[in-house]
Structure 1
Amino acid sequence: MATLKDVAVLAGVSVKTVSNVVNGYDFVKPENRRRVEDALSVTGYRPNLGARNLRRGRTGFIALVVPELSIPYFGELAGNVIAAAGRRDWSVLIEQTQGDRARERETLASLGSHMVDGAIVSPQAVEAGDLGQPGIPMVLLGEHPLALPLDHVGIDNVRAAHVAVRHLVDLGRRRIAVIGQHPTRGTATQRLAGYRQALAEAGLPSRPELVASALRYHHSDGAEAMARLLDLPEPPDAVFCFNDMLALGAIRVAAERGRRVPHDIAVVGFDNAEHSAYSVPSLTTIAPDKSALAAAAVDLVHRRAGGDPPEPPQDVRIPFALEIRESTTT
């Protein structure tokens, strides 16, 4: 591998000048900068990020802990975190927990020994006592019942759910069901609250039979929940699903039962996973700004890892939008 010295000899400048160019410093003569850049191209020099990080007192890695990469939201989020971390010369170690409390607890407890500069964590099942003192900068994603002095990045799930259900109300739907209720998921609790608020504001009752639970947020869970709802004596005319996979499973069952979407039953999802725009019909969904979420989380880890003066834990709210597509409008 080419070294700084190799580049300096080829460019006819000092090693210090090459180092200044590589590190982006401005005080280099234009002619010297051009010669160094040409030499860098010829030699194929690549910075030794490991050595650079050691000089900075960093490992060069952060951890990302998510429930399931097979769920498109988390897969897309991981891609955004990798991009944001790369802009700060960090690589990302990814761990998935399947939302299992024991596995989450074990993963979080071991982060301090993984030689990472910080962690971004999307917890589902752990409780405050499971986490203890992380020992490294840690940012939590999503909604959770953990009363801990840690940074948090998320969206206003109550408001987002309210916007989704209000859209269905404005379309004239009156028996609006929900798929995704889960007793231990903070996001489910928040979204259910927003659903009920929107119904109450519209003067519509919150009917227990229209609240369908989901053990996991996969296509099959949405399909099973929709089947139960369509078996009711008075089936719903609209469904708000707590993620896009639930919604697509629900749409599949509706089609199998001869229910037209959106004519007979409108469907709204959550997350704006890429495939939601390509389903038939395309899916109306709540779209969090995943790029902004990842950037904010990485920025918080960077500030803590950089030894900035202590400050209170930050609660950063990321914007969202309602993407209206064919599953609610004709």
Structure 2
Amino acid sequence: MATTSRDVALHAGVSRSTVSEILNGRGAKFAAATREKVEQAARELAYQPSAAARSLVRGTSDLVIALIPDTTFGVNLQVIFEKATEELAEHGLTLLLRLSTPSAQMFDRLISTASPRGVLSFIPFLEREQEIMRSRGVQFFSSPPSGDRRDVNYDIGRLQVCHLAEQGHHRVAYARLRDTRQDVFGDEREAGVRDECQHRGLPEPRILELGVSRAESLAVMDSLEDTPVAIACYNDDTAAAVLTAGILRGRRVPHELAVIGMDNTPLSQIFVPRLTTIDYPAGDAAHATVAGFLAAITGEPVKESDLHFPLRVIKGETT
């Protein structure tokens, strides 16, 4: 026989309404000890709340919509969404992935049709999207939070320049992808590169735009002066393209051409020479996003330690 909320209430020594309130995400008004007692009882009895009942009570479903940037679905994004799916499932929530769309009408239709418990995104929400969600009473959370300029991507750009400067490189360029669908975080990373160059008294970085192709990479390399240059790249794919073009043009690495990528992809570590890159802890990033989102829908404060994760340089042979 399936466990009911009445069984949980008897096991925890509280009322059935208390169980309902806590397990349906409205437990902020109860003492932490009471919430823990109910949640522990539910775990011990393997209680599974009725999704239909919760939807009727709240007027929302147990769906959490995650907006995916219109970009290449690489390893890091896959890890992020797998981890987010697992953590949300532990709270009785189901993650639904959806490509972000510039159409406010389509977004409004999605929200009204799905009636989600909330929406999370790995890029800041547009103002119109925020207005739609507020008007429909839907909680939302973005990582970085909307309006927060200095996000992890900004830090990535600064860290790349820090490493290059520490290795003795003083002329920096930033290589980003021409296709905006693949260059979702390019503006923030470029801002980090610019600000760190300014902070260190380095010349204004030259901005290079290219596609991941031999022809475009060679054209970019040919546009550079013959003097040594260190290139901070949007990701490891961009770094591979720049590095290959430099080698084909006879530039000595890292003396005449230094390159640092981003993502620490498996391929980056089998390049010859081995690529210096930034390691992005995708699992920790997913945890931070889910922690912030759960705090938004429960009203409980999020631990500061849950919102931060370390970036680190993986030193290769290209810097």
TM-score normalised by the chain length of structure 2: 0.69
For residue 156 of structure 2, what is the aligned residue in structure 1?
A: 160
Q: Among residues 162, 171, 178, which one is paired with 2:167 in the alignment?
A: 171
Q: Distance between the aligned counterparts of 1:234 and 1:109, measured in 2?
A: 54
Q: Distance between the aligned counterparts of 1:59 and 1:180, measured in 2?
A: 40
The one-character-per-residue Cα deviations of 1:248-294 (angstroms, maximum 9, x if unpaired) are 33233334434454354221122344544454444322334332332
Shift of 1:240: 0.2
Contact in 2 for aligned 1:64/1:95 (Cα 8 Å): yes
Shift of 1:94: 0.6
Q: Which runs of 5+ in 1 are unaligned?
A: 9-14, 41-45
Q: Percent identity?
A: 20
Shift of 1:24: 6.0
Q: Distance between the aligned counterparts of 2:128 and 2:155, measured in 1?
A: 29
Q: Distance between the aligned counterparts of 1:321 and 1:248, measured in 2?
A: 20
Q: Which amino acid aligns with 1:155?
A: D
TM-score normalised by the chain length of structure 1: 0.67
Q: Aligned residue pairs: how many?
A: 283
For residue 251 of structure 1, what is the aligned residue in structure 2?
A: 243
For residue 18 of structure 2, what is the aligned residue in structure 1?
A: none
The one-character-per-residue Cα deviations of 1:137-175 (angstroms, maximum 9, x if unpaired) are 1112248xx65xxxx798343343222112112212233
Structure 1 position 73 matched with structure 2 position 76:
yes
For residue 50 of structure 1, what is the aligned residue in structure 2?
A: 51
For residue 11 of structure 1, what is the aligned residue in structure 2?
A: none
For residue 200 of structure 1, what is the aligned residue in structure 2?
A: 198
Q: Among residues 3, 25, 34, which one is paired with 2:40 in the alignment?
A: 25
The one-character-per-residue Cα deviations of 1:115-146 (angstroms, maximum 9, x if unpaired) are 3211112347x742454231311112248xx6
Structure 1 position 291 matched with structure 2 position 283:
yes
Q: Among residues 240, 246, 271, which one is paired with 2:232 in the alignment?
A: 240
Q: Which amino acid aligns with 1:157?
A: N
Shift of 1:55: 7.7
Q: Among residues 236, 260, 263, which one is paired with 1:268 in the alignment?
A: 260
Contact in 2 for aligned 1:155/1:319 (Cα 8 Å): no
For residue 224 of structure 1, what is the aligned residue in structure 2?
A: 216
Q: Distance between the aligned counterparts of 1:223 and 1:111, measured in 2?
A: 43
Q: Which runs of 5+ in 2 are unaligned?
A: 13-37
Q: Distance between the aligned counterparts of 1:164 and 1:188, measured in 2?
A: 13
For residue 118 of structure 1, what is the aligned residue in structure 2?
A: 118
SS at structure 1 position matched to 2:169:
coil
Q: Distance between the aligned counterparts of 1:113 and 1:233, measured in 2?
A: 56
Q: Which amino acid aligns with 1:245?
A: D
For residue 33 of structure 2, what is the aligned residue in structure 1?
A: none
Q: Distance between the aligned counterparts of 1:205 and 1:77, measured in 2?
A: 36
Q: Residue 159 and residue 298 in structure 1: after superposition, are their counterparts in 2 closer, same or farther (change >3 A)? A: closer
Contact in 1 for aligned 2:88/2:94 (Cα 8 Å): yes
Q: Distance between the aligned counterparts of 1:113 and 1:27, measured in 2?
A: 31
Contact in 2 for aligned 1:105/1:131 (Cα 8 Å): no
For residue 12 of structure 1, what is the aligned residue in structure 2?
A: none
SS at structure 2 position matched to 1:270:
coil
SS at structure 2 position matched to 1:302:
helix
Q: Distance between the aligned counterparts of 2:273 and 2:144, measured in 1?
A: 28
